Amino acid sequence: MEHRAHHGHSDVDWASAAESLDLDGEVLGSTLRDVTASLGVLAPSARRILDLGCGTGTGTFALAATFPAAHILAVDGSAALLAHLQSRADGLGIDQRVTTLQADLDQMWPEIGPIDVTWAGMSLHHFADPDRVLVDVRRSTRPGGVVAVFEMDGPLRFLPDGGLGDVESRCYAVSEQQHAAAMPHRGADWAPRLERAGFVDVQVHRIVIDLRAPLHPLTGRYAQRSLQGLRAAVAGRVPADDLAVLDSLLAGDALLHREDLNIRGARTLWTGRRAG
Ligand SMILES: C[S@@+](CC[C@H](N)C(=O)[O-])C[C@H]1O[C@@H](n2cnc3c(N)ncnc32)[C@H](O)[C@@H]1O
C-alpha cells in the first residue's frame, strides 16, 4: 500500500503493517486489557483519552472497553491506518465515542484541549523527538491526569526452544541491530524522560509474556507475519542455513498448522501523572 512512514528515519510501510498490528491486538488481547484495566484504577473518572500513534486502534479499543464513559481521540500520521480504525469503530458501534485525527507529530502538536489519559502504545520510539512530544502531552494533560507509555522489550518469539528457537534468536539479534540504528529511541527507559517532561509519580511495570497452548487461533497467522518480516529483514545478513530454516517454516501455510508454537516476550508500561 502507498502510505509510508512520515518520520524520516524509517522506511516501514505502516499500511501493510495493519494486519500485524491487528493480530497483536487480538492475540495479546488479554494482556492488553489487563494493562488498560490498571489505568482504569489510576484514572477512574477519565472522560477524554488520547491514543497517540494509534495505528489500527489496538489501544483505542482496549481503552474504550476499560473506560465506557470516555471519548477517545485517536491520532496518527497515517490516513490509511486511521480509516481502518474508523471502520472498526463503526463495526463495534462505538463510532460516537471515537474521533480520528491525522497529524504528523514530528511536525506539529494538534490543539486537542485538556486530556485525562494519554496512551502511547509502541509509538513513542518512532518519533524523531519523543521528549518534545512528552512535553506537549504534559501541557495537554489536565492537572492530575495520567500518561501511559507501553513499549515492547523486544520482538515476540514464537518458535519452540532448541533448534528452531535458536535460529529465531540468531535472526532477531541481527534484525534488532538494524532497528536500533533506524530507531534510536527503541528500547529506551522512559521513566527519567517522563520525569524530565514534568510528570510525577512515575511508575514502571514489566509484563512478562509466556503463553503456551491452548493459544489464540490467530497465533499461527501472527507467527507467519512476524517471521515473514524477519526473513525480509535478515536476507543476506545471516548464514544461508538459518535463512533456509525460515524459508521452510514459511513455505505454504505450514506455520498455521504447527502445534508447537508459543509466545514469549515482554512489554513495559510506564505511567506518570501531571501534578494536580
Ligand atoms: C508500532 S505502531 C503502534 C500502533 C498502535 N499504537 C498499537 O499499539 O498497535 C506505531 C504507530 O505510530 C505512528 N507514527 C509513527 N510516527 C508518527 C508521527 N511522526 N506522527 C504520527 N504518528 C506516527 C505510525 O503511523 C504507527 O501507526
Q: What pLDDT does residue 3 have?
A: 35
Distance CA 140, CA 138 (A): 5
Distance CA 55, CA 21 (A): 7
* pLDDT per residue as tens digits for the range 17-39: 899 999 999 999 999 999 999 99
Report the pLDDT averaged over residues 255-267: 96
With pLDDT > 90 as the criterion, what percentage of the chain qualifies? Answer: 91
Say which residues have a Cβ less than 8 Å from residue 60's Cβ, sequence separation at least 6: 51, 54, 72, 74, 85, 89, 98
Quote the ligand 1 centre to 54 CA distance (angstroms): 6
Residue 248 falls inside a structural domain: no
Atom 13 in ligand 1: residue holding the nearest Cα: 53
Apex 105 CA angle, 100 and 106, nearest 5: 160
Residue 221 falls inside a structural domain: no
Q: By the 8 A CB rule, do 173 and 228 touch? A: no
Is pLDDT at 8 greater than 60 in this prediction?
Answer: no
Residue 227 falls inside a structural domain: no
Strand order across the 263-273 sheet: 98-102, 71-76, 48-52, 115-121, 141-152, 263-273, 200-211
Q: How far apart are the first and last CA of the chain?
A: 44
Q: What is the CATH number of the domain that holds 148?
A: 3.40.50.150
Q: What pLDDT does residue 159 have?
A: 98
Report the pLDDT averaged over residues 246-253: 96
CA dihedral defined by 120, 124, 125, 128, rounded to 10 degrees?
160
Q: Which atom of ligand 1 is nearest to the CA of 150?
A: 8
Q: What pLDDT does residue 42 have?
A: 97
Burial group, residue 252, by CB count within 10 angstroms (0-12, 13-18, 19+):
exposed
Q: Which atom of ligand 1 is nearest to the CA of 120?
A: 6
Question: How would you write 33-65 as a 3-class SS string?
Answer: HHHHHHHHHHCCCCCEEEEECCCCCHHHHHHHH
Distance CA 74, CA 103 (A): 10
Report the pLDDT averaged over residues 230-242: 96
Is pLDDT at 16 greater than 90 in this prediction?
Answer: no
What's phi and psi for 54, nearest 5 deg? -75, -20
* pLDDT per residue as tens digits for the range 71-114: 999 999 999 999 999 999 999 999 999 999 999 999 999 999 89
Q: What pLDDT does residue 17 have?
A: 83
Apex 140 CA angle, 54 and 151, nearest 5: 35
Residue 147 falls inside a structural domain: yes
Is pLDDT at 236 greater than 80 in this prediction?
Answer: yes
Any residues with Cβ below 6 Å from ligand 1, and which?
5-7, 14, 21, 24, 53-55, 58-59, 76-78, 81, 104-106, 121-123, 126-127
C-alpha cell at 131: 521528549
Say which residues have a Cβ less than 8 Å from residue 195's Cβ, sequence separation at least 6: 202, 272
Quote the ligand 1 centre to 55 CA distance (angstroms): 5
Pocket probe mutation, ligand 1, options 24, 100, 126, max atoms within 8 Å of Cβ? 126
Quote the ligand 1 centre to 53 CA distance (angstroms): 4
The average confidence (pLDDT) of the chain is 93
Residue 125 falls inside a structural domain: yes
Residue 230 falls inside a structural domain: no
Atom 21 in ligand 1: residue holding the nearest Cα: 77
Q: Which atom of ligand 1 is nearest to the CA of 107?
A: 19
How many domains does one find in the chain?
Answer: 1
**pLDDT class for 12, splitting at 50, 70, 90?**
low
Quote the ligand 1 centre to 273 CA distance (angstroms): 22
* pLDDT per residue as tens digits for the range 178-233: 888 889 999 999 999 999 999 999 999 999 999 999 999 999 999 999 999 999 99
Residue 217 falls inside a structural domain: no
Helix (H, G, I), strand (E, B) or coil at 70: coil
Quote the ligand 1 centre to 71 CA distance (angstroms): 20
Q: What is the extent of the structural domain holding 98?
A: 18-155+185-212+264-273
Cell 495479546, located at residue: 28
Q: Which atom of ligand 1 is nearest to the CA of 21?
A: 9
